[in-house]
Structure 1
Amino acid sequence: MHVLIVPSWYPTERNPIAGIFFKDQAKALQEKGYKVTIAYPEIIPLREKSSEKMGYSVKEEDGIITYRYSVRNPFPRRFKTFERLLYSSKLKILYKEIIKEQGIPDVIHAHSSFLAGWSSNKLSAIHKVPIVLTEHSSTIGKGKLTPKQKRLLSEILSEADKVISVGPGLAKTLGEYIPEDKLKMIPNLVNTDEFGIETHIGSEKFRFFSLARLDSNKGMDVLVDAYTNAFSSEDNTELVIGGDGPLKEELKNQVAKKGLQGNVHFLGQLNRDQVINEMQKCDAFVLASKYETFGIVYLEALASGKPIIATKCGGPEIIVNNKNGILVPVDNQNELADALKSILKTAEEYSPEEIRQDCIARFGKERIIQDISRLYEEAIRNK
């Protein structure tokens, strides 16, 4: 079976971890015997610095034939209609080259509605190829769409043959637009081959690790406050924060005001290898998000055998169980502080191997690709 994957965002030279889980899924499909082709029209904002070559390109990337068309968007991002039209026009160019060189795909798997989903539906209307659409958007899950966007989303979801939600909170929202038999919840997979349990010589302190874009949604300010409350009189722990974003300086100032510079450390943006290294060095992972459609970073921690602390924010509810960590309410500083103290106290009671094996069983390649394969077959059969 030939699967054409159309992502709304994807790893680039500027951001090599953007949409990395799309790439991991594509690689897993190919390992299972599927012929996989990637078609990625990259729409780059005019003011964003980029040294990447504009225009059409095709090459093998990590074993997957990848067609790209990079183009500058002359309009501000708020002009979403033009961005969609630009994306769609470049996807049509890529598709013509793909069917000429790789053959007609049996199914198109689009990731996220407003660019890939909308544009893939336009292709399907012409070429009659079934569409499977996976939705990842937190904007949709948080109910932040305008009336116009809601109408467009309804159209996109209705035209797709099958729709996948990556988490339960998002599935509930999508269920308001389409019938139950059209919607399936299939989580993102984690590449457990890259993340693993490894003996290391780390810090003498118990290390909590957090990793996210440093914006208001990720709750880093709440985490810093909770960490302060939990360990204000102790010096045997540390909080290490990876990632960059608009709140980085504000968070650093928050840490300085609390006098925690010796215990809370900011690592900045991390590449894939650095993320793997930090997961292996830490004793526990914590993220206090206000909303997540899923939360692939939790799986990376679990695949490394680490207990996790997460919030009940839409995605982690299907990840956390009594084998692997603690769930707390969103924005509840006191319960988060209690969870930090509990993990410190009971860390040795968690089995790294049991945590990892449970993660593989529920979110590893075998399980996720099996579910996706069934959906592909249904979409093709019902077209």
Structure 2
Amino acid sequence: MKIFIVPTWHPTEQNPHFANWILPHISASAQNGNEVIVLYVDTEAKLPNAPVDDSFLRPKYITDHHLYIPMPKKNNRFLRTRFFYGKILNEYTSKLRELYKIAEAKWGKPDLIHAHVSLPAGYGSAIIGRENDVPVVVTEHYTGFEYDAKYFWRVGYFVKEMGKIVSGFYAVSPGFAERINQTGLLKVDGSLPNPININYFKCEHKLIKSDTFNIVTTGSLGWRKGTDILLEALSLINNQINWKLTLFGNLPDEHKFKKWLNNPNFNNRILLNGCVSQSELVNTYANSDLFVVSSRVETANVSMLEALSCGIPVITTRCGAPETLINNKVGISVPSENAHALAQGVLRMANNIGNYPPEKMREFVVNNYSMEKISSLLALVYDTAIQKKKTL
């Protein structure tokens, strides 16, 4: 089967850590003998400071099966409104059409297009699919989906139009799928979780023995990730267990956390490591005891599953997605936006850590989220979409 993958975001040479969660999705699509070609219209591209000729904006090959074209855009606070975003979608679809024609000329007509995130990739793919009589599947990852659906003047209209065309629409967690259904924009056909590279995220737990209870969390730290809730929770148990917290990710509003970060009796237990390579994440997971999701809202949480694959249990807030991806054998969930509940949850995990053997944590991921497991789900999704297209 020939699959054209259209990601809304993808790592680039200039930003190699950006959206690297998409890479396992592409690899999973390539399983079962499928030929996968990536068509990436880069809406995150920046124009160089120095003058450039037209060649900068032309399509190019990143690899033999990866076509790329930049689409620099100006920041606009009104961008995700129906009026402004319609112009963005027209330009995006035009550039995607250009990549599609190049790919079709070289590899032939695809059996299916799989887009990741409704806007702009899903919408653009739906238009291209309709023009060329190709079935389209969309996987939704975007945290702001519900906000876009909430107000008539935002971009939910385009999602609804996309939904009339595509042959399959999926979310990355059962919880997120339920929340999308509640918006009424379109019907979700099921969940397609993030695949985890279990050969990379290995169970090599506790390479370094320690009396410290090592906690780790990841993401762009701030309000959405509930960084304030996590820090407040740990301050409540500061003298009850010997904990240490490692945070990976950007901290754009560090001043908002000065209450904790400037406290000498607290900040010496915190490591702010910024954005790092996956190899460094694996090493930290191997020497940690607990992964924490303290978010206010999530669509899934890839890092949580990667940590489980490395053998460490998790605690997550009930923020609409991560709690639907685990069971009580690999971790616990607590109410969202409740520092006291999170603090008690951390204590509970610290006092019962022996109930979560590393090999069982990994086994859960292998059975539910490995590349092989997700690729088998994709095979069913692709076959269903192709058959649905034939009946229309």
Same fold flag (TM > 0.5): yes
Confirm or deny: 8 A CA contact 2:160 2:186 kept in the other structure.
Answer: no
Which digits, 9 at most, give the CA deviation of each residue in 1:8-29, with x for residues without a partner?
1111123323332322121123
Partner of 1:263: 269
Mapped to 2, the partners of 1:85 and 1:275 lie a distance apart of: 39
Confirm or deny: 8 A CA contact 2:137 2:168 kept in the other structure.
Answer: yes
Mapped to 2, the partners of 1:100 and 1:311 lie a distance apart of: 48
Instruction: State how 1:346-357 maps to structure 2 within 5 Å.
Output: 346-357=352-363
Confirm or deny: 8 A CA contact 2:45 2:70 kept in the other structure.
Answer: no
Q: Which amino acid aligns with 1:44?
A: E
CA distance 1:155–1:50, change in 2 (3 Å): farther
Q: Which amino acid aligns with 2:70?
A: S
CA distance 1:113–1:132, change in 2 (3 Å): same
**Partner secondary structure for residue 328 of structure 2:** coil
Indicate whether 1:314 and 2:317 are aligned.
no
Given candidates 229, 234, 240, the residue that maps to 2:236 is 229
Give how far 1:304 is off.
0.5
Query: Greater CA deviation, 337-346 or 203-212?
Result: 203-212
Q: Among all aligned residue pairs of Structure 1 and Structure 2, give the percentage whose two residues are the same amino acid.
A: 28
Give how far 1:203 is off.
4.8
Mapped to 2, the partners of 1:250 and 1:142 lie a distance apart of: 24
CA distance 1:141–1:194, change in 2 (3 Å): farther
**Partner secondary structure for residue 33 of structure 2:** coil
**Partner secondary structure for residue 311 of structure 1:** strand
Q: Which amino acid aligns with 1:73?
A: K
Confirm or deny: 8 A CA contact 2:31 2:375 kept in the other structure.
Answer: no
Give how far 1:50 is off.
11
Partner of 2:72: 72
Instruction: State how 1:136-285 maps to structure 2 within 5 Å.
Output: 136-141=141-146, 145-148=150-153, 149-176=155-182, 177=184, 183-199=189-205, 200-201=207-208, 203-232=210-239, 234=241, 236-257=242-263, 259-285=265-291
**Partner secondary structure for residue 199 of structure 2:** coil
Confirm or deny: 8 A CA contact 2:216 2:245 kept in the other structure.
Answer: yes
**Partner secondary structure for residue 192 of structure 1:** coil
Which digits, 9 at most, give the CA deviation of each residue in 1:268-304, with x for residues without a partner?
1122222222222211111200011111111011100
Mapped to 2, the partners of 1:350 and 1:49 lie a distance apart of: 52
Q: Which amino acid aligns with 1:289?
A: S
Q: Which amino acid aligns with 2:60?
A: S
**Partner secondary structure for residue 108 of structure 1:** strand
Indicate whether 1:102 and 2:100 are aligned.
no
Mapped to 2, the partners of 1:258 and 1:48 lie a distance apart of: 43
**Partner secondary structure for residue 285 of structure 1:** strand
Partner of 2:58: 55
Confirm or deny: 8 A CA contact 1:158 1:178 kept in the other structure.
Answer: no
Confirm or deny: 8 A CA contact 1:11 1:19 kept in the other structure.
Answer: yes
Query: Greater CA deviation, 166-175 or 111-120?
Result: 166-175
Confirm or deny: 8 A CA contact 2:247 2:272 kept in the other structure.
Answer: yes
Count, aligned residues: 378
Confirm or deny: 8 A CA contact 1:46 1:75 kept in the other structure.
Answer: no
Partner of 1:91: 96
Structure 2 gaps, min length 5: none
Which digits, 9 at most, give the CA deviation of each residue in 1:161-211, with x for residues without a partner?
11111122321233254775x611221111111101115115542210011
CA distance 1:248–1:12, change in 2 (3 Å): farther
